[in-house]
């Protein structure tokens, strides 16, 4: 009988999602004894995976519960098949991205602060921020207190499953899409063209919103630095829903402090962000603490996918999302 290891912190109600014909082994987040498992559903947090790995025997398959497996690559023993959870976070991350874009262009962080102050007397700061980002030829009447997404050019860097989910949610807003993947893809029409990442320098100047949703690899580390930020349109919005090191932090701070761009980020480098770090007080920056996928459906979808993988394994079928190389 196939022995499947599951973190004991997972809601027991989710065990029902797993197929029959298996022996379920509940693994403490801090094990104290060796556990025999052939198929391991890894915990989502690196520190817990680090604590469990040394106590696993007979391991042949590791199924991640997250899409990014850069940390697990360093932990899983040689010869063990590693599968990522690509697809599990499509909905949650796409929703966070949409919310981050709208919150930024509607100046919600500013108005949230004024609400806490209990006064709208400083509301015209929104207009001054707008003019600082978009220097006007003349100031129109009436006041500009927020912006519109309609008609904007949105550059999606990392046009995979999550990138497509982001596009689907932005589609009703009447935006224009520019798509970038690792390699260019042939397309029947220019509307659906996907550019290669080598075209990024040519595409950045035309984008109003730049969304980063690439995997974290040696190739993507620092892919947005001083040069790339300088190419962005004045007042453009950078949205990082990927990993912190994809963006060079000193370069981002310089661009924000100079008032050239704005940003919304769910990830930082370093992470977690230490007390007193200059990103906390950087202007035109919205930060959340890596929470895009942390919804009530996270582990439900992860366990559903793990269950489908176990079923394939039991039937002798090829597993999905097998990691080859860095991802």
Task: Give the range among 9-23, 107-121, 126-140 with minimum mean pLDDT.
Answer: 126-140
Catalytic, 271? Answer yes
pLDDT, residue 325, reads 80
How many CA atoms does the CB half-sphere of 129 hold within 13 Å? 24
Burial class (CB within 10 angstroms; exposed 0-12, middle 13-18, buried 19+) of 92:
buried
> Could you tell me the pLDDT band of residue 140, with boundaries at 50, 70 and 90?
confident
pLDDT, residue 138, reads 84
- Residue in 277, 290, 304, 312 annotated catalytic: 290
Q: What's the token pair of residue 114? A: 């004024």
* Residues in the chain, total: 327
pLDDT, residue 139, reads 87
How many CA atoms does the CB half-sphere of 268 hold within 13 Å? 21
Parts of the chain belonging to CATH 3.40.50.720: 2-88+295-315, 90-106+147-287
Catalytic, 134? Answer no
- Residue in 36, 271, 317, 320 annotated catalytic: 271
Query: CA angle at residue 92 from 86 to 95, to 5 degrees?
Result: 125
- pLDDT at residue 190 tops 70: no
Return the percentage of the chain with pLDDT > 90, whole number.
94
pLDDT in tens, 62-73: 999 999 999 999
- Average pLDDT on 18-32 reads 96
> What whole-number distance in Å separates Cα of residue 256 and Cα of residue 269?
15
Report the predicted TM-score, pTM, of the whole model to 2 decimal places: 0.94
Does domain 90-106+147-287 fall under CATH 3.40.50.720? My reply is yes
- Average pLDDT on 2-22 reads 97
pLDDT, residue 162, reads 96
> Could you tell me the pLDDT band of residue 189, with boundaries at 50, 70 and 90?
low
- Average pLDDT on 232-237 reads 98
Does domain 2-88+295-315 fall under CATH 3.40.1350.10? My reply is no
pLDDT, residue 148, reads 97
DSSP state of 67: S
Q: Which residues pair with 265 in a beta bridge?
A: 240, 287
pLDDT, residue 191, reads 66
**CB within 8 A of 216, min separation 6: which ones?**
68, 70, 242, 243, 245, 246, 327
pLDDT in tens, 249-300: 999 999 999 999 999 999 999 999 999 999 999 999 999 999 999 999 999 9
**What is the overall mean pLDDT for the chain?**
96
- Residue in 86, 129, 179, 243 annotated catalytic: 243
> What whole-number distance in Å separates Cα of residue 184 and Cα of residue 95?
26
Q: How far is CA 131 from CA 89, 107, 150, 210, 286, in A?
A: 36, 13, 19, 20, 19
Query: Which helix H or strand E contains 92, and what residues bound it?
Result: helix 90-105
pLDDT, residue 192, reads 79
**CB within 8 A of 71, min separation 6: which ones?**
46, 49
- Look-up: residue for tokens 């006041």? 143
Catalytic, 320? Answer no
pLDDT, residue 217, reads 93
pLDDT, residue 201, reads 97
pLDDT, residue 108, reads 98
> Could you tell me the pLDDT band of residue 133, with boundaries at 50, 70 and 90?
very high
Q: What's the token pair of residue 281? A: 């007080």
> What whole-number distance in Å separates Cα of residue 27 and Cα of residue 9?
8
> Could you tell me the pLDDT band of residue 187, with boundaries at 50, 70 and 90?
low
pLDDT, residue 214, reads 96
- pLDDT at residue 238 tops 70: yes
pLDDT, residue 326, reads 73
Burial class (CB within 10 angstroms; exposed 0-12, middle 13-18, buried 19+) of 318:
exposed
DSSP state of 198: G
Query: Which of the two residues, 325 and 272, has the higher pLDDT score?
Result: 272
């Amino acid at each position: 009988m196939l022995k499947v290891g599951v973190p004991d912190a997972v809601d027991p109600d989710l065990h029902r999602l797993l197929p029959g014909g298996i022996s379920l082994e509940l693994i403490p987040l801090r094990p104290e004894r060796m556990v025999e498992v052939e198929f391991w559903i890894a915990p989502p947090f690196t520190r817990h995976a680090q604590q469990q790995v040394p106590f696993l025997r007979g391991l042949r398959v590791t199924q991640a519960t997250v899409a990014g497996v850069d940390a697990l690559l360093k932990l899983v023993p040689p010869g063990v098949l590693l599968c990522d959870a690509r697809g599990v976070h499509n909905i949650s991350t796409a929703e966070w991205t949409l919310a981050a874009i709208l919150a930024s262009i509607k100046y919600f962080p500013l108005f949230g602060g004024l609400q806490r102050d209990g006064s709208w007397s400083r509301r015209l700061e929104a207009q001054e921020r707008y003019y600082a980002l978009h220097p006007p030829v003349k100031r129109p009447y009436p006041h500009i207190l927020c912006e519109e997404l309609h008609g904007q050019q949105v550059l999606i860097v990392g046009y995979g499953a999550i990138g497509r989910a982001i596009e689907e949610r932005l589609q009703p807003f009447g935006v224009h899409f520019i798509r970038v993947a690792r390699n260019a893809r042939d397309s029947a029409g220019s509307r659906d063209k996907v550019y290669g990442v080598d075209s990024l320098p040519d595409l950045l100047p035309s984008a109003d919103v730049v969304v980063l949703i690439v995997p974290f690899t040696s190739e993507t580390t620092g892919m947005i630095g001083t040069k790339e930020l300088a190419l962005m349109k004045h007042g453009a919005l950078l949205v990082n829903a990927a990993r912190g090191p994809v963006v060079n932090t000193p370069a981002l701070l310089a661009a924000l402090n100079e008032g050239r761009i704005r940003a919304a980020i769910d990830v930082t480098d370093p992470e977690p962000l230490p007390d007193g770090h200059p990103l906390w007080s950087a202007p035109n920056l919205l930060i959340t603490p890596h929470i895009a996928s942390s919804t009530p459906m996270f582990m439900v979808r992860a366990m559903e996918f793990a269950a489908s993988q176990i079923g394939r394994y039991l039937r002798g079928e090829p597993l999905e999302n097998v990691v080859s190389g860095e991802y």
